[in-house]
Structure 1
Amino acid sequence: MIVLLGSCTGKNRQISEKKSAIVLLSSEQASKSLLPQPIKLNRNVTIGEYFGYIDSLVQHYDSLVPYPLSEHILVKHNSWIIDTLANTDYYRMKARDSFIYDQKKQIALPKGNLLQIPDSLRACQLYEDFSNTEIDINIPEYKLRIFQDSLLLYEFLVRVGQNRTRYLKMGDRETDLRTKQGKGIIVNHVKDPDFYNPVDGKQFYLTKRDDNRTTLMPQIPWIETEINGVRNGQMIHPTTNPKSLGKAYSNGCIGTREADAWVIYYHAPIGTKIKIRYDLETYEEGMVISVFKDIYDYQN
């Protein structure tokens, strides 16, 4: 079997541009000769160290493989990492009788585990998967879905913006807090966010959980959207208070569970398509199966 490196189409065209000297490889060469040995973790890597560690691996191994290695490609190929990160969710840990004050000290990559480097065939498939992925949010349904082509991969409960205007010091103006609708893409990731109260502009470091216990703010990536060509600061990010999910509660952002935020992040590299809609009815086989409350009073 002969494999053409860079046969992936669309935005994955960069694969063929990286190493133009390599044109044709047998599948055996592509999967073995160019594939670095698995990386054995010789120590525990905490969440506080996690992104720096992963970035260092990507930088090193990118020069050893015939495609542009990225954090998302590496982690999706080692999907156990996503599960491990999701299980650091404060409320999942609480259900296991473990109180976590500082989430950054939890183990993201356990000692002894192996990280596999994908071969070019697998990397090509992952690039194709990402290019065919879309995030779909229906505001009055409080649902975020991840589709690959027409296949539903995940469905998550979210919170959305409130139905009111409010003065926000960070924007120094009266702001419509309703979540903005439209089509767009993911334009940025904030891997170590700082936390500010948008109303008074003051930075904070602690959060009061739904169980009335106080913890440090967790380090979980925020995802920035561009909707209808406008970057209006509307983010997808975790909330430390999941009781607010299924409500119009935020200042415009889309809030998720901590565990769900990790899953969404690793399905949303830069350039991922996103659609935010306001559909009061859902259909199945041409029949209305759900009718949602008009939370923004658009019908009036």
Structure 2
Amino acid sequence: MMRLQRMVLTMALFSILGSCKVKNQAVIGETIFARIEPEQGLDVEASADTVKIGPTYIVLDKDVTIGHYFDHLDSLVTRYDSLVPYPLSEHLLVHANPWVMDTLANTDYYRLMAKDSFVYDQRTLRVLQEGDSLLLPDPLAGEQIHSALNQLVIDINIPEYKLRLFQDSVLLYTFPIRVGQNRKRYLKMGDRITDLRTITGEGHIVRHAKNPDFYNPVTCKRFYLTKRDDGKTTLMPQIPWIETEINGVRNGQMIHPTTNPETLGKAYSNGCIGTREADAWIIYYHAPIGTSVRIRYDLKVKDSLGNEKILKDIY
């Protein structure tokens, strides 16, 4: 009897998919997976039933480099947003496909150099390949990811040189950072004497710079190249910068990667929070617009064993 019920259910699902006109259907167990060809898109009739039945896979029809990655992700979000009942976003799509995050993190210059692979122009690196499949989650999974993204919190403790990512109260990641210098300096970009210390307070993420331009804030001159810790010169990588608003003020304090990780664990920047390149990708995908940010200056902390210790007062 049970087997007969399963056969009837499977036949019913085939009937529904047949009316949807989705190409390259496949049955795995008793779950229907629809394979969507991006070039041809979906017929309008496919919109509702496809996502109700189960997860859908978007099959890429070409290779995608970092230089074209964001445009490609944006095009997929635009194409499929109306076909799912949850608010589809680049962040949600990548969290449904965490291997993408790992692939991007592995484009870190120093990770590649550890494998004897020198890359002058990071934007030419391929991160998605023709034939790769991106999971478009079913309604329940999509809503769960959306809810989780809304619970993310970025916590930064300046004298500890640490950035932590939380989902509600659960610690997800801890990353080393660099912070602002303990001095004042004239910056031509702001045309004033500026306190370079990283500002404390609470706020949220207000903007992503996915393809940032690079300027020396002291001279206001644009630059394109960077000298790495190993003495080699490369083009500046394309990794998102994240703008914060702290205490109701957008003071230009960004969270962004540094091409010189030797400066991590130091008060070295002009006020921004610097991270490793690999970490910057992880932080970006845990920092959608509106994510809460708290920047504190706590000298009393606990080590991994729960013992209290006093940090050096750097400011």
Quick one: which of 138, 159, 162 aligns to 1:119? 138
Q: Percent of aligned pairs with the same residue?
A: 66
Structure 1: segments with no counterpart, 5+ residues: 1-28
- Secondary structure (helix, strand or coil) at the match of 1:115 reads strand
Conserved 8 A contact 2:203-2:247: yes
Aligned: 1:194 with 2:213: yes
Quick one: which of 263, 268, 284 aligns to 2:282? 263
Which residue is equivalent to 1:143? 162
Query: Which range is displaced more, 200-209 or 117-126?
Result: 117-126
Superposed counterparts of 1:24-39, under 5 Å: 32-33=51-52, 37-39=56-58
C-alpha separation in 2, matches of 1:178 and 1:73? 34
- Secondary structure (helix, strand or coil) at the match of 2:83 reads coil
Supply the AA of the counterpart residue of 2:211: D
Superposed counterparts of 1:1-300, under 5 Å: 32-33=51-52, 37-283=56-302, 288-296=307-315
Conserved 8 A contact 2:303-2:309: no
Paired residues in the alignment total 268
Which residue is equivalent to 2:41? none
Change beyond 3 A, Cα 1:134–1:31 = farther
Change beyond 3 A, Cα 1:53–1:140 = same
- Could you tell me the TM-score, scaled by structure 2's length? 0.82
Alpha-carbon deviation of 1:56?
0.2
Deviating above 6 A after TM superposition, structure 1's stretches of 4 or more consecutive aligned residues are 284-287
Change beyond 3 A, Cα 1:101–1:286 = closer
Supply the AA of the counterpart residue of 2:132: N
C-alpha separation in 2, matches of 1:294 and 1:31? 57
C-alpha separation in 1, matches of 2:272 and 2:120? 25
Higher relative contact order (CA 8 A, sep 6+): 1
C-alpha separation in 1, matches of 2:301 and 2:108? 31
Alpha-carbon deviation of 1:36?
7.1
C-alpha separation in 1, matches of 2:115 and 2:168? 36
Supply the AA of the counterpart residue of 2:216: N
C-alpha separation in 2, matches of 1:281 and 1:183? 19
Larger radius of gyration between Structure 1 and Structure 2: 2
Alpha-carbon deviation of 1:112?
2.3
Conserved 8 A contact 2:51-2:83: no
Conserved 8 A contact 2:52-2:138: no
Alpha-carbon deviation of 1:37?
3.5
Supply the AA of the counterpart residue of 1:257: R
Alpha-carbon deviation of 1:283?
3.5
Query: Which range is displaced more, 63-72 or 181-190?
Result: 63-72
| Per-residue deviation, residues 3-38 of structure 1 (Å, max 9, x unmatched) | xxxxxxxxxxxxxxxxxxxxxxxxxx8884366741
Q: CA RMSD of the aligned region, Å?
A: 1.8
Structure 2: segments with no counterpart, 5+ residues: 1-47
